[in-house]
Amino acid sequence: MALFLGLGSASAMAAYPDRPIRWVVPFPAGGAIDNIARTLGEHMSVTLGQPIVVENRPGAGGNIGVDLVAKSASDGYTLLIAANGMAVNPTLYDKVSYDPIKDFVPVSILAIVPNVLVTNKAKNPVGTVQELIANAKTRPGKYTYASAGNGTSIHLAGALFRAMAGIDLLHVPYKGSGPAITDLLGGQVDYMFDSITSAKPHIDSGRLTPVAVTTMKRSSALPAVPTIAESGLSGYELSPWFAAFLPAKTSPAVIEKLNHAMLLALKNPAVRQRLASIGAEPVGSTPAALREHLVNETEKWSKLLPAWGIRAD
């Protein structure tokens, strides 16, 4: 009987996946996280022999989509793509319905996408970090910055900037990067620390002015744009990362199979070219490396957020 059950289990695992896989994106379509899932999903579908269907479940700074996956079956058919908020939200919010470490198993770090501080060229002539800080200090609370929601890297980039510069900027959270940048283009908000993915087309068209990028190094997608740190705010750094997770107790064999498909996709020249076009820098990792990264990031932000007075507005 034991032998029979073992063979049956192995057979079922060999057959995985035998139906479409749902990839939950906890933000609206159009942003960096959505683009990464769709780009990788197309290639992974070929490797796995089954469609990967992207499902957008936005809201509450990503918490709605993350909670959905946490409560899903551990059968490998519900996958999550998450960002910095996975490590941040347990501290940022008074209460979340999931534990990012206990309720999930890691699959792979996928990519890093720098954020870029941008402003509406027609409304705001500011072109440097120092000009922004000087203006904000003369008119505290008068300037606004949009984000894709509380806990997103866009929110954190602005909150960290505000805290380190000692200025008063009003945070205006939206339900995703798309509606936020629409209002920035319309002049309803003054600034945004948007992902290069959604900001670059408007930078290229001349409608948005890129002021500085949030990462420690300049972005290959915008090589002429300085970092915030080299623009006068020494020590500033925020590197938005994106990673894949599954519900806790998912079989190691399933995790390995999905990890393999992701790493193949990240090495594919066409995929890399597509990611480069949206400002994403492919990474790829073992599940163990992602777990260590998540633990370190969670610990870091649990100290930084209270120290800087950053919270869900």
- The structural domains of the chain, with segments of one domain joined by +, span 17-113+240-308, 115-213
d(CA 277, CA 140): 37
User: CATH class for domain 17-113+240-308?
Assistant: alpha beta
Q: Which of 32, 97, 110, 101 is nearest to 67 (CA)?
A: 97
Q: Is the pLDDT of residue 9 over 60?
A: no
Q: Is the pLDDT of residue 2 over 60?
A: no
List Cβ neighbours of 17 (8 Å cut-off, separation of 6 or more): 48, 49, 50, 76, 77
- Same topology, domains 17-113+240-308 and 115-213? Answer is yes
What CATH number does domain 115-213 carry, 3.30.360.10, 3.40.605.10, 3.60.15.10, 3.40.190.10? 3.40.190.10
What pLDDT, on a 0 to 100 scale, did the predictor assign at position 8?
45
What pLDDT, on a 0 to 100 scale, did the predictor assign at position 62?
87
What pLDDT, on a 0 to 100 scale, did the predictor assign at position 12?
47
Place of tokens 């490998």: 76
Please compute the mean of the pLDDT values over residues 199-205 and round it to a whole number. 93
* 123 — pLDDT class (breaks 50, 70, 90): confident
Report the amino acid identity of residue 120.
N
131-190: pLDDT as tens digits:
999 999 999 999 999 998 887 889 999 999 999 999 999 999 988 888 899 999 999 999
| Tokens at 133, concatenated | 């800080």
- The distance from CA 153 to its chain's CA centroid, rounded to whole angstroms, is 6
What pLDDT, on a 0 to 100 scale, did the predictor assign at position 313?
62
Give me the chain's average pLDDT, please.
Answer: 91
What pLDDT, on a 0 to 100 scale, did the predictor assign at position 198?
87
Please compute the mean of the pLDDT values over residues 91-109 and round it to a whole number. 93
Q: Is the pLDDT of residue 103 over 80?
A: yes
Q: Kindly report the backbone phi and psi dihedral angles of residue 208, in degrees, each rounded to the nearest multiple of 5, phi listed first.
A: -120, 145
| Tokens at 120, concatenated | 């509406």
Q: Is the pLDDT of residue 5 over 70?
A: no
Choose between 202 and 94: higher pLDDT: 202
Pairing relation of β-strands 78-82 and 21-25? parallel
Sign, Cα dihedral of 142, 236, 215, 79: negative
Q: Is the pLDDT of residue 68 over 70?
A: yes
Please compute the mean of the pLDDT values over residues 213-240 and round it to a whole number. 94
List Cβ neighbours of 109 (8 Å cut-off, separation of 6 or more): 241, 242, 243, 283, 284, 285, 289, 290, 293
Q: Is the pLDDT of residue 10 over 70?
A: no
